[in-house]
Amino acid sequence: MAMTDWSACEKRLAAGVDTLGLAVSAKAQAQLIAYLKELVAWNATYNLTAVRDPLAMVTRHLLDSLAVLDFVTGKSVADVGSGPGLPGFVLAIARAGLKVTLVETNGKKAAFLRHVRRRLGLANVEIVQARVEDWQPEARFDCVICRAFAAADECARLCGHLIAPGGRFLLMKGRDPAAELADLPLDFRHVDTVALAVPGLEAQRHLAILEPGLI
């Protein structure tokens, strides 16, 4: 098995952060690479992501997640269907003042999330292993985000109860999700859809921004 060139991964991450115009500290970037190392190690056994190449992971996982950073509002965020921690871990590392809850039903993925939180000492992260529609948090969230979780209308129906009044619902999508947004529940309104430019990624990326409240 070829050795990973982690120096190249660090350079790609740093260049991508610069291109995105984000203020992500050197310490946070080092933690993001540390997270990636854990993901690569676990992925060899547990198949947490279909992306195998660490350099590709920098682009398709780290930079893809960082591209939505400036759209996350408030002090608390729930990442629903977090999988291996995307975008939740990336947001938590890049913004240490943000309280991030990762919601994941899959046992092996939840075990990985707990491992990373412990290994990286991420005190601002909470792991919840539950079906989101069955989970009733003590307090609702300023922001709820979903990446490759479900269609927009289903996301709203399953996760709507997590969002605080005046909060924001972010849906990370590939192609423009306009067709999905036509069937939103009445207690959600579509605010905007933003086309995202992820450094080094040719595929389309969009972020749909929803808010709770009757039309």
Show binding-site residues.
Answer: 81, 86, 132-133, 147
Show binding-site residues for S-adenosyl-L-methionine.
Answer: 81, 86, 132-133, 147
User: What are the strands, taking DSSP E only, across the chain?
Assistant: 76-80, 99-103, 125-128, 141-147, 163-173, 188-195, 206-212
CA distances to 21, 165, 184 from 196, in Å: 13, 26, 22
Helices 26-46 and 6-20 pack at an angle, to 10 degrees, of: 130
Of 212, 190, 199, 195, nearest in space to 12 by CA? 199
Specify whether the CB–CB gap between 206 and 196 falls below 8 A.
yes
Half-sphere exposure of 124 (CA within 13 A, CB side): 17
Rounded to a whole number of angstroms, the distance between the first and last alpha carbons of the chain is 55
